[in-house]
Amino acid sequence: MGHPFPIREIARQAGLSEATVDRVLNGRAGVRESTAREVHRAIADLDRQRTQVRLVGRTFMVDIVMQSPERFSTAVRAALEAELPSLHPAVVRSRFHFRETGPAEELVAVLDRIARRGSQGVLLKAPDVPEVTAAVGRLAAAGIPVVTLVTDLPVSARIGHVGSDNRAAGATAAYLMGQWLGDRPGNVLTSLSSGFFRNEEEREMGFRSTMRARHPGRALVEIAEGQGLDATQYDLVRAALERDPEIRAVYSIGGGNIATLRAFEDAGRECAVFVAHDLDHDNTRLLREHRLSAVLHHDLRHDLREACHLVMRAHGALPPAGPTLPSAIQVVTPYNMPAPAVAG
């Protein structure tokens, strides 16, 4: 029978000598039928375990490159490190390159250094701008697979994307916002960290289209470019509240929620409904304190596991698989929060 396994590997699996396995495979006489069955069973077992056999002793050095507030990059690091044991028998080592903000040229410089130095893969969260897309192309030309994380670069040479369906997440936020505001008057503040992150743009489009369809009389007030950082977010929110006395609710697409709430408090205004994204350490605390109405969350551990599997497949260490499905969107309230270790 045809098989890709060395005689030594089959003998080890079957608990027989190499000479016995050789006699069975070549149809020679002097072998009991039960022994032959053991050899064929060992080959079948190895075939089922082919993935693990190919992974034994493999080490993958993966670079995680992210432009994101510290609270989210910390959550990503914790999620990846929690998933590493599940990737055995492969060994995944990681190098982290985190920055909160800055020009695209600095991010491109990091990617180009990785291309020159070498890596088994790059997990990337970056703005969708031409300079970054070009850098991904250079990584691909160097034989380094790139997987986009949370926010996509669809026209780049990346091999795949992991994350949630952001349009569906925005639509879910609009549904919750409409239900909780009910007939009460008031406008909704939508807050993006930057218009260059595709995931935030898609969330905003999903939110806006659903609000327009379900609540056409409700005005939306947009602020952007706070980078999700409290220092810049506060001024943007405070200015919006001063311009519009009818703002009563917030859909926070890009973060900076501590600063947003502080701006409401300092202005003496109530935030009746506040929907945010991601159970980072800030949002976890705010949700426990009932200062957020709900957090739309997706399982970062699932995302990081899928991203690592995509890198392994690119190197032929895992068998081909179908397209990566979006992560499930979880609506988390103060009453159904995950355990602290999961929440990050």
* pLDDT for the residue 341: 45
- On whether the pTM is more than 0.85, the answer is no
Amino acid at 203: R
Cβ 188 vs Cβ 219: under 8 Å: yes
pLDDT block averages, 10 residues each, the chain of length 344: 76 85 89 90 74 66 92 90 84 88 93 93 96 98 97 96 96 97 95 90 97 95 88 94 97 94 97 95 94 95 95 91 91 88 38
* pLDDT for the residue 342: 39
Cβ 180 vs Cβ 157: under 8 Å: no
* pLDDT for the residue 210: 98
Residues 6+ positions from 183 with CB-CB distance below 8 Å: none
Long-range (24+ apart) CB contacts under 8 A made by 6-14 are: 9/46, 9/53, 10/39, 10/42, 10/43, 10/46, 13/42, 13/43, 13/45, 13/46, 14/38, 14/39, 14/41, 14/42
* pLDDT for the residue 56: 62
Token representation of residue 324: 């990566």
Question: Using CA atoms, how far apart are residues 331 and 295, in angstroms rounded to an integer?
Answer: 6
Helix (H, G, I), strand (E, B) or coil at 159: coil
* pLDDT for the residue 49: 57
Considering just the CA atoms, what is the radius of gyration of the chain in Å? 26
* pLDDT for the residue 50: 61
Cβ 84 vs Cβ 294: under 8 Å: no
Amino acid at 243: R
* pLDDT for the residue 2: 59
* pLDDT for the residue 344: 34
Residues 6+ positions from 26 with CB-CB distance below 8 Å: none
Helix (H, G, I), strand (E, B) or coil at 67: strand
